Amino acid sequence: MRRSTGGALVAALMTAATAVAVASGPNVATAAPAEPYTWKNVRIDGGGFIPGIVFNPGEKDLIYARTDIGGAYRWSQAAQSWTPLLDWVGQDDWGHNGVLSIAADPVDTGRVYAAVGMYTNSWDPNNGAILRSTDKGNTWSRTALPFKVGGNMPGRGMGERLAVDPRDNRKVYFAAEGGNGLWRSVDHGVTWGKVTNFPNAGNYVADPADPNGYLNQNQGLTWVTFDPASPAVYVGVADKENPVYRSLDSGATWERVAGQPTGYLAHKGVIQGRYLFIATSDTGGPYDGAAGQVARLDTTTGVWTDISPTPVADRYYGYSGLTVDAKKPGTLMVATQISWWPDAIFFRSTDYGATWTRAWDWNGYPNRTKRYTMDISANPWLDFNSTAQAPEESPKLGWMNESLAIDPFDSDRLLYGTGATLYGTTQLTNWDANTTFTVKPFAKGIEETAVQDLASPPTGAPLVSALYDVGGFHHADLDTVQPNFHDTPALGSNTGLDFAELSPSFFVRVGNAEAAPHIGVSNDGGKTWYQGQQPSGVTGGGTVAVGADANAVVWSPAGTGVHYSATRGSTWSASAGIPAGAEVESDRVNPKTFYGYAAGKFYTSTDGGATFTASAAAMPTEGRVNFKAVPGSSGEVWLAGETGLLRSTNAGQTFSTVGGGVSEGVNVAFGKAAPGATNPAVFLVGTVDGVDGVYRSDNSGAHWVRINDDRHRYGNAGDALAGDPRIYGRVYLGTNGRGILYADRNGGPASPTPSTSVSPSTSVSPSPSPSTSPSGNSGCSATYKLTGSWTGGFQGEVTVKNNGTATTNAWKVGWTWTAGQTVTQSWGGTATQSGAAVSVVNAGYNGTLTSGASTTFGFLGGTTGTTNPVPSPITCSTTP
């Protein structure tokens, strides 16, 4: 269950404003024990809409990009890649990964601002916020707003809505949606107040009758821009009859600009010299728009001129992406806001819009001549598995081209966003010389996919994914962009997949295609696919489960009830005893056993999915619920929900609560067992000891270690989760907008991720003979063993046993290392070290041991030499 973050409203007085301010930072949470992990993205590059690109005009190569659901990024010129800036956003404030606007301070270039919030309707429970940074986004402070912000709402490509006054960089403006008007800060974004005398809060609504509350928002104000040569401030308004306002006295008074064009919404407003240019469309976008114009205001004479590149009679698109060349007065470009067919169109003028040339022109239908070539070799999937017929081409130049920006320091560099990636060129002035320039993806580091399901089989590729929009991939190499996404059939947005645990080359995949098919089948581990059949009435993918031996499939699609197949998806029959829409999973050992969950009830089938029986076990009834069966353990299934983590060892007949401090679960998964352990590692996205995060347990949930940290929380994450069955400690985490993450334990050499069926060798070493403390007058004994080692480090575990006849209330274990070892982390006990001597006292939950009972604690250590001998003796006392 997502919870709203609180904040205190602090009143402040500002000129011509009613001020509201909330100052807070990113959520700070410390989880103990913790284990250091390295988190990396599985490389896809892009995969979503890029609504904004912002060059800082005060510093070369300082560039920011914003996404609608995946946070913000900063360009690294040295690495030629993007660095994510909002990975600290967590489950409670997940909507703050929606970035409606970015403003870069041109005076103090370390400062940057972001307006964050994902939805203005009920989908996002939290209000929006303004983030501010003084170190280019490495760290942030946050001021809450008294209203919501819609980084993923209609109109999100307009802007930028945030802007820093170059004449006084203490002043920052925010043009809000939702009828909330114009806001201003005079202290570098710390406090904010509404500009009460701004005359128009906007009135454009895409669809007032939308029952979902998504299209019926007033799109409000759309952009703010400054005239650097005067005190003038210009503001765009989502009002077709009054789209542009200005202040000529630094924001003290405001007026509608006389003579302005009407009938459209001004998506962009850019000043060059004495001219204000605006690009307009008949809708707020980003998916639609059929008409518009480009206009120019001479700010010295007040005269407006229609400089649209295309005659009115020939327009089937509006305009949005608008940029000027700071080094070449009179040079500007504009993009079609939507030109789905045959392609996007970019226009360029070198005479302030008096004349234009096009990126491509007709050359006798269906042929086109182009000023550019496309090179997608870095991200080959951008051809969308297509060989389009002329006049269309694969890849396309773009669509949803709201962001278009010429580098203010380099006339040859242009970056622009599309609905799928970020493109650019470093040869733009070839356009003026009538020579060809090359357009390439510039999306490395941006991972923006919405992940629906993940599978890590015991053989084949390390990972197979199901994603919205771009479908998903067979990830033969986690660090390499794959050549194509799932195809034949593609299935549109893929919603689920599964493989046969005992025959893992067999996969089934389902998705939300607009029409049949909604299912694909693979016999080679998800690399290639063929179309499956589907029951009558299917309208969407839902979830799917494959029996352990590949001879049964259970599918819970949208549009109809749960069905099962005994013919690998070629024929289907309705399942009985389980409601439509249930989430389904398979037992990983018994090929006849399947599980389901719906509306607070857990269901089990023991006949291949033909019939299901509801369990009497208490289940969470609302919130996010995910469950998985355990590989290698027949009848064992774990369920994560807002009430915690539940475990069944009898195929769902009864469940017990998993302890270890777990109070809430989002998802659970299983991976390769720790060295010396018999049960698989358990991964949990949830809350342990009051801290939400990603956790691992090596002892079936008795104890947990946190494996992420407060800089790596990834917002709305965890509905897709998979452990790696071949590499101990590795986990794959799906997010809603930050792509797929994979994480490995620090300290050990990375194991390979081959696409063969051979499991890689483990990176940990076998344990030497354990050292045990003598039993006797101490009342307890302790057994020390190494569970893993690598260059410069190791992991150990100590078992403490009560050998006495009375119950202990506490214990203390000690030893002395002889080879310079040091303890760096501990869990299940508190470790301290003085010189070579180490002492460990019990944690709060495991000091009490009845006669004969035992407990364990673990630790990570460091080594400086080539040996790591087991210490002896190991002392144990019940009177610490």
* Residues forming the active site: 68, 469
Q: Per the structure block, which two tokens stand in for 667? A: 């998802």
Q: Per the structure block, which two tokens stand in for 53? A: 């690109």
Q: How many CB atoms lie within 10 A of CB 516?
A: 12
CA distances in angstroms from 714 to 87, 98, 530, 663, 709, listed in the order given: 5, 12, 34, 20, 10
CA 116 from chain centre, in angstroms, equals 14
**Rg, Å, the chain Cα set:** 30
Please spell the DSSP secondary structure of 97-121, one letter per residue: G-EEEEEE-SSSTT-EEEEE-S-SS
CA distances in angstroms from 744 to 129, 378, 403, listed in the order given: 33, 26, 36
Token pair 């040569």 is at which residue? 229
Please spell the DSSP secondary structure of 309-365, one letter per residue: SS-GGG--S-EEEEEE-TTSTT-EEEEES---SS---EEEESSTTSS-EESEEESST
Please, what's the b/e burial string for 87-112 (b: 16 or more CB within 10 A of its CB; e: otherwise)?
Answer: bbbbbbbbbbbbbbbbbbbbeebebb
User: Contacts from 13-19 at CB under 8 Å and sequence distance 24+?
Assistant: 14/184, 14/186, 14/191, 14/193, 15/186, 15/252, 16/195, 16/196, 16/197, 16/251, 16/252, 17/183, 17/184, 17/193, 17/194, 17/195, 17/196, 18/193, 18/194, 18/196, 19/191, 19/192, 19/193, 19/194
Q: One-letter amino acid identity for 416?
A: Y
Strand pairing category for 192-195 and 221-226: unpaired
CA distances in angstroms from 577 to 126, 241, 597, listed in the order given: 38, 58, 12
DSSP structure class, residue 738: S
CB 687 within 8 A of CB 645: no
SS3 244: strand
Q: Provide CB contacts within 8 A for 296, sequence distance 6+.
A: 275, 276, 277, 278, 304, 305, 307, 352, 353
Q: One-letter amino acid identity for 564?
A: Y
Q: Provide CB contacts within 8 A for 209, sequence distance 6+.
A: 216
Q: Provide CB contacts within 8 A for 821, sequence distance 6+.
A: 794, 836, 861, 862, 863, 868
Report the sign of the C-alpha dihedral through residues 821, 822, 824, 826, in that order: positive
Report the sign of the C-alpha dihedral through residues 521, 523, 525, 527, in that order: negative
Q: One-letter amino acid identity for 526?
A: G
CB 794 within 8 A of CB 784: no
Q: One-letter amino acid identity for 538?
A: V
Q: Is the peptide bond before 255 cis (omega within 30 degrees of 0)?
A: no
CB 710 within 8 A of CB 88: yes
First to last CA, the chain: 41
Q: Per the structure block, which two tokens stand in for 148? A: 């919501």
**What is the length of the chain?**
880
Q: Per the structure block, which two tokens stand in for 363? A: 């050359």
CB 52 within 8 A of CB 99: yes
Q: How many CB atoms lie within 10 A of CB 23?
A: 15
> How far, in Å, CA of 693 to CA of 698, rounded?
17
